[in-house]
Structure 1
Amino acid sequence: MNHQQVQKYQKIVDSYFGYTASALRDFITAPEFKIEADKVCIYFAMEGYFVEIFMPGFTHGQRARMNIIERKKTTVFFPYMEIKDNLFLSKVCGV
């Protein structure tokens, strides 16, 4: 990864609507995008993860606050994201 783009991953979970872990792993959406200020964000769900790709990238401090993967790290933490807490996933799942 370079400063041209950064990627953020979150593990999709569901405690409210009855989706199983297996169903969430099979879940794939077409990419969508949004433009905010001077950044473009492409986002999609794939194999149980919600992926966001930001262009251009962020400063080191911004990346640390947003749980964005750093290329020199040896371990990765994937925070959970409930379907109900994400408007895109809620819309796609029909909830």
Structure 2
Amino acid sequence: MPLNLATVKISRLIDTTSGGFSLEDLKSVIITPFFRKLDGGFSFCFLLEGFFIEIFTPGLGYRQCGQKGILNPKKSVLLVPYLSIFDVFELVQLMISGYGKHAEGNSNIKANYSLNQTKKAALFRWLDLH
């Protein structure tokens, strides 16, 4: 498919906060795909095995197609950049909403995972900055 019709960008999610989410934690996150309205187009976003995948339509411009993480059939190597989970606004909103429901006792999901103080602090620190 020509890059001007659709462009795919792949990033590896990370959490750089001390004691934050491990790569294994992030690999287990499952969310519903979502889209973003951009100037002149859309991007469709997916989370898969700890990778953030974004499909732009129409595709990105020529200069942007040289960035790390862009699937390009003319290149034999793909360099996947890291992306902080706190740089994906929609993921942070989901974490805030989910934590709020959990804290209020409105979650029926039983998990063997607990949000430790460091992870809570990182989430609230992000809220203070934004």
- TM-score exceeds 0.5: yes
Shift of 1:58: 2.2
More helix by share: 2
> In the TM superposition, what whole-angstrom CA distance separates every residue of 1:47-76 from its partner, at most 9, and x where no partner exists?
101111101112322211464221121111
Higher mean displacement: 17-26 or 60-69: 60-69
Unaligned 5+ segments in structure 2 are 97-122, 124-130
Higher mean displacement: 64-73 or 5-14: 64-73
Between 1 and 2, higher relative CO (CA 8 Å, sep ≥ 6) is seen in 1
Unaligned 5+ segments in structure 1 are none
Structure of larger gyration radius: 2
CA distance in 1, matches of 2:29, 2:74: 29
Superposition RMSD in Å: 1.8
Percent of aligned positions that are identical: 27
For 1:10, give the aligned amino acid: S
Tell me the number of residue pairs that the alignment of Structure 1 and Structure 2 aligns.
95
Does the 8 Å contact 1:28/1:44 carry over to 2? Answer: no
